[in-house]
Chain A
Amino acid sequence: MPNNIYLYILVMAGVTYLIRMLPLALWKREIKNVYVRSFLHYVPYACLAAMTFPAILSSTGSLLSAIFGFAVALLLAYREKSLLTVALCACGTVFVVEQLLLWLPSLGF
């Protein structure tokens, strides 16, 4: 363990902030090129989709609860429920499935 931990934290935070700040601060004018515009239009969907799947499958205590949570989130998102509703129902589903997994064996299933 180094004794100048704060120096590490400073470098870490500095680099991370610069990455976030430079494009926002330096690029204000509107982009006219249709391909670049289209690319930037698709970026959020591509990025969020890549982060969600398959990572969602390992986001909980078991694959099974994650699959159920994923299915419920997909269904509610398809029905255009709010972000909060979808997130909380996914959490609730995971909770219920994991409790069932815990109790079913002891009931003889």
Chain B
Amino acid sequence: MKLKAFLRGLHAGIPIGLGYFAVSFTFGMEAVRSGLSIWEAVMISLLNLTSAGQFAGLDIIVAGGPLIEMAATQLIINLRYCLMSFSLSQKLEKKAPHAHRFAVAFGVTDEIFGVSASQSGEVSPYFNYGAMCVAIPGWSLGTLVGAVCGNILPAFIMSALGIAVYGMFLAIIIPPAKKSRPVLLVVLGAMAISCLFTYVPFINQISSGFAIIIATVVAAGAAALLCPIKEEVDAHAE
């Protein structure tokens, strides 16, 4: 059972690892260009496993900003993980020993959360470990390769890989949106709000991390009030 969950996680991790490679490649490139050592760049990726937070953190390191600014920036940009972990806390196998939660928490990224949320019923921690086993090496190796040979990989490959994670997100949200009207409205609503935060002057100054939190809370909150799930259906049945 554990092995099966682990293998399913590995499989789900492949597109994640591919997409990560492209993003973290640019991070490694950028970090070395900003004056960090290769080892420091890889260590940041290995310990943080987050894209927007790392790029923002890199800016603060390079500027020599105060540590409190580093802490506050990470808190704001990464606060969405708090929502995801909270959602996952309901979804993770109840019978699994508590210690697993500390390990699973390390791998709560947008993408790994996405695939584990799309599992039907409870999710085994081993599923997350499987996804982490592909995603973490993808993220760290991408940083290493980017840091070592920043300008060798041709731009068109980087460009094509950039869309991978979004394709994956669509594969997660579209099928349930097809079957459930409220989910469809949540998806469209969240996208619309996210557009506001991207294109409308002034409010597009808000950090992307905050924009995602606001879009998520507003869209999911409205749906919860308007279409609460009455019966004991399992949340992400599919």
Contact = CB atoms under 8 A, between A and B. Distances in A.
Contacts of A55: 166, 194, 198
Contacts of A39: 220-221, 223-224
A83 B94 CA distance: 27
Range of interface residues on A (Cβ < 8 Å): 35 or more
Range of interface residues on B (Cβ < 8 Å): 35 or more
Contact of A43 (B35, B83, B94): B83
Contacts, number: 315
B184 to A, nearest CB: 9
B217 to A, nearest CB: 8
Interface of B: 11-12, 14-15, 18-19, 35-36, 40, 43-44, 47-50, 53-54, 57, 60-62, 64, 67, 70-71, 74-75, 78-90, 92, 94, 98, 101-102, 104-106, 108, 110, 113-115, 117-118, 155-157, 159-178, 182-183, 186-191, 193-195, 198-199, 211-212, 215-217, 219-221, 223-225, 227-230, 235-236
Contacts of A22: 82, 85
A54 B163 contact: no
Interface string A93-108: 0110011000000000
A29 B102 CA distance: 16
A47 B208 CA distance: 12
A28 B85 contact: no
